[in-house]
Each structure stands twice: as C-alpha cells, then as structure tokens.
A and B are shown apart, each in its own frame.
Chain A
C-alpha cells in the first residue's frame, strides 16, 4: 500500500555548531510509511557507523518485508506483521552492530539510539531505544509519546528529580539502553491511534536538549503547513541556542486516513453486505 498520499514527510540532519561530525542518521520512506532516526555514539567515526548501519539495515529490510505483506496483517498469536518485523529486524540490526564492534577495534564500544515509526491501518507503531524521541502535535496538544531510556528519566520516574531539576543535572546524556552494545536489546514498541492533521516529530536529543518543548510546539504550529521549512526552523532554533550536539528531525504530517486495504475475508464480507444492501 502506497502511503505517500496520506503522509507528508520531511527530514533534516545537521552536525550543529560544536561537534566536528554528524553521528545522527535519518531515513524516511513515505511510500512504505515508515521513518527511522538514530543517534550514534562511540569514538571517532564509530557513532556514525552504528547509526548509519541502523537506518540502512532497517530501511532495506522493512521496505522488503512490507512489500511482501501489509504491515497490519495478522501473523498469529495476536500479533501483527509490523510487530514481528520490528522485533526481528531490530534484533538483527543489534547483532550486526554488536558483531562489528566486537570484531573491529576501531568500532569497539559503538552503539546508537533508535526511534522509528511505522504508519499502518490508521495507527502508528513506534519503536524506540535510548533517548531519541517521538513527539506528537494534535490540535493544540503537544508532547512526547516516547519515554527516554535514560538515567534522568529513571530518576524522574522514581521521584528523585523533578523534570525542572533534571535540566540542571550533570548526568545528561546517559542512556540506559542502546542498540549494538550488548548481544541482545529490548526495544519498546507501542501502537498509537492516528488522526488526520496530526504532526509527528522524531528527533535526536540535540533538539530537545537545546529547545524547550513549548518552543518546539510553536514551530510545529507556525510552520505546520510547510514541513520542509519547519524542519529547517527546528534545526535553526537548536543552533541559535548553542547547537552543542548533532540535531536531527523527521516530521510526518497525516493528510488523510489510511485504513489497511481489506483482507480477502473482509472483501468477501463487504461483498455479501453490499449484496444485501443492494436488495
């Protein structure tokens, strides 16, 4: 199913003002209806190897898997194809990075965060690992959909820190999960309902560490009609505030509903119903 009619997508990645190179990677496939963002870490160029491997591997495997079968198709055990594919392919990507890091000394210790969204059947399936985020703007309402896998988020969760205090912490940028650093990884995967008009933002911490959520919301509202400009604006705001990290954004606007094409059985039912109605 071609989703490019229902989804408008824009993405931008920038190394910021301080870092010597960009370790973030972004990939968007509006036709298949998925977007991927990874923020790599690890010495010298290893971070961008890890994030680049992630977007490339997941990008090609998902394109293949969703061409073979609708992501919303049930695969048994109450699961949908999209979930099975995400679990398998994230695990495989994790192994690929882990093995590269183990076998080549220059890649030792590399890893990456991951946030990705698959749009299917009027839903979005979100998988994430680490502190890259997915935000949603729905009408006036703006906020993160993902919860960081980070020390600070854990401290906020257990009441040790308030979100305001967390801004003053010296323990920023410590993630508790990452892709490629252990033989196995546990992604967090959830489904969310999608409404036409929604704007989704995937970003690396280079955006949300530099720009307050309210300002991000303002940019999405002001530039929502022009996603490319919106992406430029967000990157610019991060850089105007210091640009201390790589900053990457992917924006997805839902232009219309995108229900899954009816399955064979559904079509059969619809025909029967149509036949009854016709009489």
Chain B
C-alpha cells in the first residue's frame, strides 16, 4: 500500500499509510493528516487513491502545494515524489514490495476484472498478491517504464545504408527507425528492422528477392545484416554498415 512519509527539516515525523480513498491534509483537526502550522491552510490538499494510483490535489490553499519544486493544482503521484507544504515535506512511497525468492509465475500484471461492488476487494487482492510469495520478477515487471523507454535499442550502434548505384548513388540513409522500407511498393519491397540485437532485412513483396552479399533472401525469413553487407534490391546496389 502506498504511504506518505511526513518530514520536517530532514526529521521523519510520521508514516501515513493511504488507507482511505480520500485523505485530506490541513491545519484543522478534522483533516486525516493534520499539520498544525500557520503556513498550512485549514484544508490544504487532498490525496485521492484509486487502487494502486494516488492523485494529489491542492484545495485552493493560501501558500500552495508543491511537488518536486513545482506548484501543482492536481498531480498524479509517482513513487518518490516529494510534496512540499510550507516547511513540511511529504514523501510519496508506492513501492511494489520485494518478493520472496520462491519460484512461480509473475501474475501481478495479469488482467483482472474490476466490478464496482468489488473494487475495494480487488484492491486488497492486488495488495495481497503483491506481497504473496509466488511473485517473481514483480518489481522488474510492474515498475517497468512504458514501452518507448523500455526499448533497449540504445545499445545498438547506429547504422546506415549507402546507395552504390543508380540515380541516388552516394546517398546515405540512416536506420534510426524501428523499420525502414526499401524498394518500390508493388514492384519489390524489403524492410530493415532495427532490433535490440541487430539489424535484419526481410523480403516483403515482389517476385524477385533481394540478394545480400551474394545470398538470395528466403521468403518470410529475416536475414541478419553484417557490417559492409552489399544489398541488391530492384536493380540497385547498396551497402549496409555501422557508423562508428
């Protein structure tokens, strides 16, 4: 379960688990999280938690609510965010618990059904699952960044195709995209895919198959490209090479 850690001048004052869907922060005593300090408004901010996500909202406080140094009105809290209210700091911690080393399928990410009446229960189930001992790779999987950032393609050296014959002779084409299409649609098309472990060329359409350094490509079979491979496609010769 997510929690807030209340600190002042690097002194930890309190740990507050986010047990309720709405938890208000303010100076007045009726708040769920009361901070009795004049810099804090009577009703200063609220944290709304939906299952495993929490949102922070400023309640039009006099001195404002800051997250990681920026004033916010509404903010989707991420693990490690620091909320500042006057001299007080609230650190948002939403760590997926460390799993036991026992082997088992990583089913934290498995699809589950959410029905309004059992929303609470589901949250608890997820919670229980998360601390269960059948989780493997839980932290890695659930805390993984979105796909774009997950692409490990950065390790792959950049490569180019240089045209060696025909009207475009000398031209270079950088293979920066995941897929680069070569040739003419309807006549002969090949695609070079940039994958984490290398570049691969595949014949897509046309009666003639591309030839790579003397080897004719097979249908539906990606062919790995080596440095300085010569590709012959639709009557044009080109060279593939890595850019140092």
Contact = CB atoms under 8 A, between A and B. Distances in A.
Interface of A: 18-20, 39, 41, 47, 111, 113, 130-131, 151, 155, 160-161, 165, 167-178, 181-182, 205, 209-212, 215, 218-219, 221-223, 225-226, 228-229, 232-233, 236-237, 240-242, 244-245
A212 B147 contact: yes
B141 A244 contact: yes
Contacts of B220: 226, 228-229, 232
Nearest to A178: B113
8 contacts: A111-B113, A130-B111, A151-B51, A151-B114, A155-B50, A171-B52, A174-B112, A226-B205
B111 A168 contact: no
Given A161-B76, A236-B195, A242-B144, A175 B202 contact: no
Interface stretch (B10-18, B25-33, B173-181): B173-181
A182 B113 CA distance: 11
B185 to A, nearest CB: 7
A222 B181 contact: yes
Contacts of B55: 160
Contacts of A245: 109
Given A19-B105, A225-B189, A242-B144, A176 B111 contact: no
B165 interface: no
Contacts of B122: 174
B191 interface: yes
Interface string B115-158: 10000001000000000000001000110101110110000000
Interface of B: 50-53, 55, 76, 78, 94, 96, 105-106, 109-115, 122, 137, 141-142, 144, 146-148, 150-151, 177-179, 181, 185, 189, 191, 193, 195-196, 202, 204-205, 220
Given A168-B78, A228-B220, A18 B141 contact: yes
Contacts of B191: 222-223, 233
Interface centre among A170, A211, A233, A237 (most CB of B within 10 A): A170
Contact of A169 (B53, B150, B179, B196): B53
B202 A229 contact: yes
Nearest to B144: A242
A155 to B, nearest CB: 7
Contacts of B110: 41, 47, 173
Nearest to A245: B109
B204 A225 contact: yes
Contact of B115 (A131, A176, A226, A232): A176
Given A218-B179, A229-B202, A241 B151 contact: yes
Contact of B111 (A41, A182, A225, A233): A41
Given A228-B220, A237-B178, A240-B196, A173 B78 contact: no
A138 B151 CA distance: 27
A172 B113 CA distance: 11
A210 B150 CA distance: 9
Nearest to A165: B76
A178 B115 CA distance: 10
A174 B137 CA distance: 20
A160 B54 CA distance: 11
Nearest to B116: A176
A94 to B, nearest CB: 13
A15 B195 CA distance: 19
A175 B205 contact: no
Nearest to B136: A18
A41 B113 contact: yes
Contacts of A221: 181
A174 B51 contact: yes
A130 to B, nearest CB: 8
Given A155-B50, A169-B52, A176-B114, 20 more contacts: A18-B137, A19-B105, A39-B111, A41-B112, A47-B110, A113-B111, A168-B146, A171-B51, A174-B51, A174-B114, A178-B113, A181-B113, A212-B148, A218-B178, A223-B179, A225-B189, A225-B204, A226-B205, A229-B220, A236-B195
Contacts of A131: 111
A245 B108 CA distance: 11
Given A19-B105, A245-B109, A211 B204 contact: no
B213 to A, nearest CB: 22
Contact of A175 (B78, B111, B141, B146): B111
B25 to A, nearest CB: 19
A250 to B, nearest CB: 18
